[in-house]
Structure 1
C-alpha cells in the first residue's frame, strides 16, 4: 500500500523550488502550444510522435532540471488530454451537451515538479532530490520515511504560500492477531458513528461536526445572497467568489479533520481489542424519495455516510481488518431483548413489551451486531452504559500506529 508524506521544503530551497517549478511550467506550456497547432491543422498525433517531438525540443534547450522530471512535465499534459477525450466520448455516448467540455489548453507559468525514482536518493538519513547535472540538488536533512520512495511531487500550497514535497512510499500492510471480535457500526446524522463490539456501546459525538456543517451552510447562504446582487464577472463578484472558495476550503478541511481523527481512533480501538471484522449498515438508496421537510431533507442530503464508510474501509484494509455491509432495515426499532417493534422517541428507545431502555443509536448498533452474528437475544445485565468519544484537535488513537494514507512529517 502507498503512503504519502508531506514535507515542508526548507527556506533556503524555496527559491530553487520556485525556479524549477517555472521550468516545469514552460515545458508543460510547450506541450499545450504544440497540440494547439496540431489540432488547428486537423492532424492526429500519437503518443510516440508526441514524445519524440518533446524530446527533440528539450534537446535544443538547457533547462536545469532532471531528465525524468522534464519527461513528467509534458506527460502531465498528455494524461490530462486523454482524460478530456474520455470525458468527451462518454458525453457523446449519453447524448449530453459537449460544448462546456474544454480541452486542457491552458498555459501554466508554474507547474508541479515530479521527481521519479531515479531522481530520489538517501544518504546518511538525508533525502536528496536531483535536479540534473547543471543544477544543485535539493537536500532534506533528517528525513525519516517508513518505506521505499516511489516518486515525489513538488507542489505549491496556496494557503501556506510555500512549496511542499509530497513523497509517495510503498509500505507493507499491517496485520493484527487475535481477530475474532466483531464491531457493528450504525452510521447516523446526529452522531456519525455508534459502535457495539458485543460488550459496550461507543458513541462518537457529532456536535462539533454538525456545527461545522451548519456554519458552512450559513456562510454559503450569505455569499450566495451577496453574489446575486452583483453583476457577473465584475470586480466585486470575483472578490466575493474568491472569499467564498477560501471559506469553504477552510471549513471543509476542518470537517475532514474530524472524520479522519474519528475513523483513525475507531480502527485503533479495533486493533487494541482484537476486532477482526467491522460490520456497517448498508445505507444505499436512503436519499431516494426523501420527503421529510426542508431542514430534514438538507440534513439527509448532506449526510456523509459514504465518506465515513469509505475511510473506514481504506484504513481497515491497511491493517487487515475485514469490512462487511448488511441491510439495516428496522434495526433502530427492534428491541434487542424481545424483538418487538417500537418507535423511538427523540434519542431514547423504550420497549413497551419488556421495558428495555437504551440510547436510540445504540440500539441500532446492537441490532446490526445481532443480525450479523446471529445472536438471538441480549443479556441486559451484561450491557454497559454507552460511552462517548468527543472530538478534540489532539484526539489520539488508543495505540500508536501508522494508518493515514496521507500523513504529515515535520
Structure 2
C-alpha cells in the first residue's frame, strides 16, 4: 500500500474534504434508514435494498458522489452492522469476553468526515498518475499495475490517500522448522528469540515512551488554555503528529522483524498476546498510561500483513504465565482462566527489572524468558539443547532504521548496544 498525506496546503485537500464530507452524509442518512427499520420492525436493511431506496429517493449525496464510491460507503455501513450482529451473537454465548453489551453502529459526527473508496474500475493509472472519477484531479504514484482501490481516509487536520495494489503472495511453509518468538512490552517493545542459535534481539521501546511522555505533557498544557471546550486545532495537530511518529516507528520495527526473518530463513513468527490486556491492566496510574498508549495490536497486524507478502506464518498465542514460568527449568505453563483461582508455583523468579533467576541460579533476560516460553507453547519439544547454546540468554538492543547501509545490508541500526 502506498500512502500520501494531504495537508491543508496541498492542492488535493479541498477535493478530499468534499468527498469525505459527502461520504459522511451518505453514511448517516443510510444508517438512519437501517436503525429505524431495525428498532421498530426488527428487520435489517441490506446493501441491495438500501441501494435501491437511495436511487428511488434520488438522495443528494448518493447522486453527487461517484456511483461506485457511494456503493462502497454503503458496503462499509453494512459491514459495521454485520460486525454488530456477530458481536451480539458472541456476547450472548461469551459475555465475559466483553466489557459491555455491543451497541448499534453510531452516526458520524455532524461536522465529521468518513472514508471514501474508489475502485480500480473508477481510477486509471496513466503516465505515473492516478486520475479520480467525476473530477480533473489526479495524484502521482509509483504503482504501475494491479491497482485494487484508492482510499481517502480522514485524519483530523489532514487526509491520507491510500493506494492499494495487489502483489503475488508466495506459498506459506506447511511445517515449523526455523522460528522466532516475540514478547511485547513497554521498555522493550519486542524481545525476539529464535530456535536456530542466534543471539536474541530487543527492539527499544523507550522511543514510544518518550513520544507519549512529551505528548501527554504538552496536551495537558494546551488543555489548560482550552478549558471546558475540550479540544483545539493545536491539540488535534499534536495528536496527529504523535500518531504519525508512533506509526513510523512501528512500521520500521515490523519491517526489521520481517527482514530479519528473510535473512535467517525463518518460516514462522510466534507472538505472545493477551486479549483485553489493556482493559484489565493494573500497574499504577503512570504505568497504566504508558502501557495503554502503546498500540500493540497495530504492531501485530503490521507483522501479519507484511509476513504474508513473504510467505511467513504468524501464530498469536496467549502469553499467560510465560513471564513467571522458568524456560530453562522447563516449567509447566498453565492457561489463565478467569473462573480458576488456583495458585501456581514456578522454579524461578524475577529478581530485578529485566532479570530472571532460574532454580539453578542462572540469570536470563526476563523478556527473553517470556519469549522462549511463548515458543514452547507452539513447539512443545523446544528446549535449550535444541539449537541454543548460551548465546540465547542475553540479547542485543537496537533501534531499527529503514536507511540502507553502504555495505548493502537490509537494515542499518542507529543504535546497538548490549543489555542484560
Report the TM-score when normalising by structure 1.
0.67
When residues 149 and 276 of structure 1 are mapped into structure 2, their CA distance, relative to the original with a 3 A threshold, is same
- Secondary structure in 1 matching 2:121: helix
Shift of residue 202, structure 1, vs aligned partner: 0.5
1:205-216 equivalences in 2 (<5 Å): 205-216=204-215
The structure that has the greater radius of gyration is: 1
Aligned pair partner of 1:173 in 164, 169, 190: 169
Q: Deviations over 1:232-275 (max 9, x none)?
A: 4xxxx36x533222212211221222112111110111111111
Q: Deviations over 1:343-387 (max 9, x none)?
A: 33122334462x423322223323433453513444644547522
1:344 maps to: 351
Shift of residue 335, structure 1, vs aligned partner: 5.4
When residues 55 and 174 of structure 1 are mapped into structure 2, their CA distance, relative to the original with a 3 A threshold, is farther
Shift of residue 101, structure 1, vs aligned partner: 7.9
Q: Which moved more, 1:298-307 or 1:308-317?
A: 298-307
When residues 205 and 148 of structure 1 are mapped into structure 2, their CA distance, relative to the original with a 3 A threshold, is same
Q: Which moved more, 1:206-215 or 1:374-383?
A: 374-383
- Cα distance in 1 for residues equivalent to 2:301 and 2:294: 14
- Cα distance in 1 for residues equivalent to 2:314 and 2:241: 31
Aligned pair partner of 2:363 in 354, 357, 360: 357
Aligned pair partner of 1:272 in 263, 280, 296: 263
Residue-pair matches, total = 372
The answer (yes or no) to whether the contact 2:325–2:373 under 8 Å persists in 1 is no
Aligned pair partner of 1:47 in 27, 46, 50: 50
Structure 2 unaligned residues grouped into runs of 5+: 93-99, 332-346, 412-420
Shift of residue 148, structure 1, vs aligned partner: 1.4
Q: Does 1:387 align with 2:396?
A: yes
Structure 1 unaligned residues grouped into runs of 5+: 401-410
The answer (yes or no) to whether the contact 1:335–1:356 under 8 Å persists in 2 is no
- Secondary structure in 2 matching 1:6: strand
2:382 maps to: 375
2:341 maps to: none
- Secondary structure in 2 matching 1:268: helix
- Cα distance in 1 for residues equivalent to 2:5 and 2:235: 27
1:316 maps to: 307
1:134-283 equivalences in 2 (<5 Å): 137-138=136-137, 140=139, 143-145=141-143, 147-153=145-151, 159=157, 165-175=161-171, 180-198=177-195, 199=197, 200-227=199-226, 230=227, 232=228, 237=229, 240-283=231-274
When residues 89 and 394 of structure 1 are mapped into structure 2, their CA distance, relative to the original with a 3 A threshold, is closer
2:326 maps to: 334
- Cα distance in 2 for residues equivalent to 1:346 and 1:54: 65
When residues 300 and 116 of structure 1 are mapped into structure 2, their CA distance, relative to the original with a 3 A threshold, is closer
- Cα distance in 1 for residues equivalent to 2:383 and 2:19: 68
- Cα distance in 2 for residues equivalent to 1:362 and 1:217: 30
Report the TM-score when normalising by structure 2.
0.66
- Cα distance in 1 for residues equivalent to 2:70 and 2:29: 14
- Cα distance in 2 for residues equivalent to 1:20 and 1:297: 37
